[in-house]
Structure 1
Amino acid sequence: MGEQRVAVVTGGAGAIGSAIVAVLRASGHLTVVLDRTGGIVCDLSSASSTQAAAAEVLERYGRCDVLVHCAGYLDPMPLAELDLDRWRALMAVNVEASLWLVRAFAPGMVDRGFGRIILISSDGQWFPPSAEFLPYVTSKAALLGVMRTLAVTYGEDGIAVSAVAPGHTDTPAARAVVADGALDASIASQVLKRALVPEDTAHAVAFLASDGAAAMTGQVLVTDGGAYMR
């Protein structure tokens, strides 16, 4: 048996992130959390903090075999109320942090001939979005561009890059920013009439991280109960 694979999960202290950590740990990974409140403490809105956290991972564990960028947040702003500082902070966390982490961890993945990079997007980009979700939907769509480009960049090196796009998942963070009744409306729009839970996304991530997904790269797994079909 080879060395235990090291999985780094951003936002690993949140509802979906912690579910990902638990499922990856159960599948045999040594899991490392990058978050504001747990594991290796990191401010993902800061490039220098993100780069320092990546360096700490390599110093402590010597490698990253699986990178899951789950950190992200909503900051509702319609165009008329757009604040550039808030826009840039959201993009830094939701999108740019993934670039700094890949740049830090990919060389080791290349050297070992193995790597998994998994970005958590959203199915919201495929539906007509509410005006105030402009920053969030833009960031999650941008991640798919990042994912496809990195899949091509690192394919010859044995690194697979894919994404998971959850639907409206029942988490405390989601309940804090969406209107009352939004979760019930989401369930009504799904083919599978049940609330989506963090473990739905976590199991999709675990599959992409596994040897069973060795032939998959540049792909999006949609975990939204059939609300969007492609």
Structure 2
Amino acid sequence: MNDTVTAANKRERGEQRVAVVTGGSGVIGSAIVTALREAGLNALSLDREGDVVGDLSSEESTRSAAAQVLERYGRCDVLVHCAAAFDHVVLADVDVSTWRHVQSVNVESVLWLSQAFTPGMAERGFGRLILITSNTVWMPPNPAQLPYVTSKAAELGMMRVLARTLGPSGISVTAVAPGLTDTPGSRNAYSDERFEAVVAQQALARRLVPEDTAAAVTFLASDNAAAMTGQVLCVDGGLVMR
């Protein structure tokens, strides 16, 4: 029986998979939500203004949001961590508040959500944790991105440990590393000249769009990625080759 028929049968039995996308109200996050819905999942955003509201900088709020998901939707089969804090600060000016804010949103919230959702995934024998990291881990472009790049590297370490830990339960843990993506936020932060300079370094000379990241996430969330775990896909036009 092919994957399409299997998915259709599951939907008929009321077993549609539920995907939770943190930061799902943002430009890239909303593209991921849309793509997952088009792939047949019941995808929802967990954000400050999402389908489920939560503040990922707060452990209490994050755990509460996870509880709301389970109460309202009954399950989480796919967790996509797209939310990110981008606070910029150089080494000499790093303070505890800024550092902890970035780490709590970008790293720690993954732990609290995983604790809430992976027991149900293990019980059903299927689960996907997909972390949106960044190609800046390999090519840091700005000294002021110290907290951000550090957090994204930490996500990769977490991915590898959790892939080993959760694999026996049928749960895969992967990551997607986008490059500089054409969004309203990035256009405000970077000039056209900066975009073109980055594109010129890519093997594929085109601007990246949110749908590029969404397509990679949709693949990793699918049964077609059943043999993949502990891996990161760079979606950056070939800027970083590992």
Give the alignment's TM-score, normalised by structure 1: 0.97
- CA shift for structure 1 position 29: 0.2
Q: Deviations over 1:144-203 (max 9, x none)?
A: 001111000001000000000000111122233346632221111111111100000000
* 1:211 correspondence with 2:206: no
What's the secondary structure of 2:229's corresponding residue?
coil
Structure 2 distance, partners of 1:221, 1:51, is 28
- CA shift for structure 1 position 72: 0.5
Structure 2 distance, partners of 1:171, 1:96, is 26
Q: Is the 8 A contact 2:21 2:46 kept in 1?
A: yes
What's the secondary structure of 1:50's corresponding residue?
helix
Counterpart residue number, 1:79: 91
Runs of 4+ in structure 1 deviating by more than 4 angstroms, as ranges, are: none
Q: Which amino acid aligns with 1:221?
A: L
* 1:5 correspondence with 2:36: no
* 1:56 correspondence with 2:68: yes
Q: Which amino acid aligns with 1:121?
A: T
Give 1:69-108 correspondences, 5 Å limit: 69-108=81-120
CA RMSD, 1 decimal? 1.1
Counterpart residue number, 2:174: 162
Structure 2 distance, partners of 1:47, 1:29, is 27
Alignment gaps of 5+ in structure 2: 1-8
* 1:121 correspondence with 2:133: yes
* 1:40 correspondence with 2:52: yes
Structure 2 distance, partners of 1:102, 1:166, is 22
Q: Is the 8 A contact 2:85 2:101 kept in 1?
A: no
Structure 1 distance, partners of 2:40, 2:114, is 22
Percent identity of paired positions between Structure 1 and Structure 2: 62
Q: Deviations over 1:192-216 (max 9, x none)?
A: 1111000000000000000000000
- CA shift for structure 1 position 50: 0.4
Structure 2 distance, partners of 1:178, 1:51, is 35
Q: Is the 8 A contact 1:77 1:135 kept in 2?
A: yes
What's the secondary structure of 1:58's corresponding residue?
helix
User: Mean Cα displacement is larger for which, 125-134 or 136-145?
Assistant: 125-134
User: Mean Cα displacement is larger for which, 176-185 or 107-116?
Assistant: 176-185
Match for residue 184 of structure 1 among 186, 196, 204:
196
What's the secondary structure of 1:181's corresponding residue?
helix
Match for residue 67 of structure 1 among 79, 95, 100:
79
Structure 2 distance, partners of 1:11, 1:20, is 10
Alignment gaps of 5+ in structure 1: none
* 1:220 correspondence with 2:232: yes
Q: Is the 8 A contact 1:74 1:177 kept in 2?
A: no
Match for residue 16 of structure 1 among 28, 36, 51:
28
Give the alignment's TM-score, normalised by structure 2: 0.92
